């Protein structure tokens, strides 16, 4: 039987590895393309003996010639430490990478999914953020390589759609967490969980009054796949995916201390520049069009994430 062949760029990263696994479970053949900048072999080790899974080490800022039926474009470092390490490369990954993947999709007439981000809303002046909001982004700040790169990628997706009638699905992902997050990537959930498990102080940046809304990875992957599988070619997004349950960073720290039973204390350090004060998705569109909503609550998702990091720390 011929299986549908799916390309996942960034497939060895946090979200990409879960997506590859889900697609294989759905009976697809998966080609994972990754340059292993922030991804790791460990995230996809359990998939390597599957004959329908293939890995290509490749940087998507360079052209790629493969034959596939669908493309999920996730390649891009997502945490500030990593995307600010080489900001020019970050913009290139979003922009040149999008051009190459769109060129590939155009040649193959393949449907293509873009992992965009809530960061396109910048430090939002409206709350919660619905897809119609254009955002409040600093074009020249430290986060701009990521935010503006992703905004330009959205522009490219919509122009390839209008100009070349490409079938696109653009999704704006809000903060997501779970197993396979990199331990050292500085994102708040992995930082706090590892600090709590090691009995170190939890580092809150700023007052801890800033808010985020955290989505567990299985819920997010579910939304991504439902969106891509939706055969209505007029339904292209952009569409928010995330968990609308908002909490302050201080509440997150306290919950993680509670769940780990850690003796860790909280330490306050300065807030990085351009750090958004609040963020919560309006997921009305995903709910109405896909019937999708997150089902894993924060405590349950954190418990699974803590279990994962306990395993990682044991193996060090
Ligand atoms: P991640 O850093 O774990 O994964 C990104 C993957 O892309 C890594 O495996 C990395 O090696 C690879 N990569 C980076 N540059 C590349 C290049 N030039 N060529 C090929 N591969 C490259 O991050 P993630 O959290 O899994 O994020 C995946 C996607 O989802 C990203 O596009 C990110 O912007 C988006 N996103 C994630 C979140 C979140 O909360 N995790 C939120 C919004 C958007
Ligand atoms: N591209 C690719 N794989 C393909 C087809 C195209 O990587 O299978 C790249 C190619 O490098 C090109 C980019 O996608 O620069 C954009 O392609 P498009 O056809 O839109 O533009 P053009 O080739 O006309 O510049
Ligand atoms: N944060 C924090 N301590 C940390 C890491 C992050 O207080 O050790 C804060 C950060 O300043 C931000 C929030 O937690 O306000 C979420 O940060 P993250 O980098 O995970 O995501 P993003 O800022 O991209 O939403």
Give nearest CA residue, ligand 3 atom 5.
Answer: 188
Ligand 1 close to Cβ of residue 93 (< 6 A): yes
Whether the pLDDT of residue 259 is over 80: the answer is yes
Q: Which domains does the chain have, with CATH numbers?
A: 5-315 (3.40.50.720)
130 alpha carbon – ligand 3 mean position (Å): 21
DSSP β-ladder status, 211-213 and 246-248: antiparallel
Task: Give residue 273's pLDDT.
Answer: 85
Report pTM.
0.97
How many A from CA of 182 to the centre of ligand 2?
Answer: 32
Q: Give the pLDDT confidence score for residue 228 in this predicted structure.
A: 98
* Ligand lying closest to the C-alpha of residue 83: 1
CA distances from 271 to 175, 257, 268 (A): 18, 21, 9
Q: Does the beta carbon of 149 sit less than 6 angstroms from any atom of ligand 1?
A: no
Q: Look over the chain and give the mean of its residue pLDDT values, rounded to a whole number.
A: 97
Strand order in the sheet with 53-57: 53-57, 29-34, 5-9, 70-73, 111-117, 168-173, 239-241
Ligand 2 neighbour 226 (Cβ under 6 A): no
pLDDT the model gives residue 16: 98
Note the ipTM here. 0.97
* Cβ of residue 301 lying under 6 Å from some atom of ligand 3: no
172 lines ligand 3 (CB under 6 A): no
Q: Which of 83, 146, 177, 216 is catalytic?
A: 146
pLDDT at position 180: 98
b/e code 130-163 from CB counts within 10 Å (16+ = b): ebebebebeeeeebbbbbbbbbbbbebbbebbee
pLDDT band for position 219 (50/70/90)? very high
Q: Which ligand approaches the C-alpha of residue 36 most closely?
A: 1
Is 80 exceeded by the pLDDT of residue 303? yes
Give the per-residue pLDDT at 156: 99
Expressed in angstroms and rounded, the spacing between residue 309 Cα and the centre of ligand 2 is 40
What average pLDDT does range 33-62 have in this prediction? 98
pLDDT for the residue 276: 87
Quick one: tokens of 66? Answer: 């493969």
pLDDT digit string (tens) for 171-183? 999 999 999 999 9
> pLDDT digit string (tens) for 122-137?
988 998 999 999 999 9
3: confidence class by pLDDT, cuts 50, 70, 90: confident
CA distance 109 to 242: 29
Ligand nearest to the CA of 278: 3
Tens digit of each residue's pLDDT (9 = 90 or more) over 62-79: 999 999 999 999 999 999
Task: Report, as an integer, the average pLDDT of 7-23.
Answer: 98
pLDDT score recorded for residue 1: 61
Q: How far does residue 187's CA lie from ligand 3's centre (Å)?
A: 6
Q: Is 133 a catalytic residue?
A: no
Strand locations in the chain (E): 5-9, 29-34, 53-57, 70-73, 111-117, 168-173, 176-177, 202-205, 211-213, 215-216, 239-241, 246-248, 266-269
């Amino acid at each position: 039987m011929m299986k549908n062949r799916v390309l996942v760029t960034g497939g060895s990263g946090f979200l990409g590895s879960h997506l590859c696994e889900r697609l294989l479970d759905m009976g697809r053949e998966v080609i994972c393309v990754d340059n292993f900048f922030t991804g790791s072999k460990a995230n996809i080790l359990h998939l390597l003996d599957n004959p329908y899974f293939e890995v290509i080490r490749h940087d998507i800022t360079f052209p790629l010639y493969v034959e596939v039926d669908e493309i999920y474009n996730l390649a891009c470092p997502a945490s500030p430490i990593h995307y600010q390490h080489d900001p020019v490369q970050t913009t290139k990954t979003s922009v040149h990478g999008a051009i190459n993947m769109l060129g590939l999709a155009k040649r193959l007439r393949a449907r293509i999914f873009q992992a965009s981000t809530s960061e396109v809303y910048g430090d939002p002046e409206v709350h919660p953020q619905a897809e119609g909001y254009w955002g409040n982004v600093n074009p020249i700040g430290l986060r701009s390589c990521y935010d503006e790169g992703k905004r330009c990628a959205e522009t490219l997706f919509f122009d390839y759609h209008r100009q070349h009638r490409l079938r696109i699905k653009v999704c704006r992902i809000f903060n997501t967490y779970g197993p396979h997050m990199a331990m050292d990537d500085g994102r708040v959930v992995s930082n706090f969980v590892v600090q709590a498990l090691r009995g170190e102080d939890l580092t809150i940046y700023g007052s801890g009054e800033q808010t985020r809304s955290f989505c567990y990875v299985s819920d997010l992957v579910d939304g991504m796949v439902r969106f891509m599988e939706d055969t209505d070619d007029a339904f292209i997004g952009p569409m928010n995916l995330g968990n609308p349950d908002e909490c302050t960073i201080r509440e997150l720290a306290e919950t993680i201390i509670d769940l780990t039973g850690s003796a860790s204390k909280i330490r306050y350090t300065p807030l990085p520049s351009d750090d958004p004060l609040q963020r919560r998705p309006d997921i009305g569109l995903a709910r109405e069009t896909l019937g999708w909503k997150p089902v894993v609550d924060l405590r349950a998702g954190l418990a699974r994430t803590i279990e994962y990091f306990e395993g990682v720390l044991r193996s060090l």
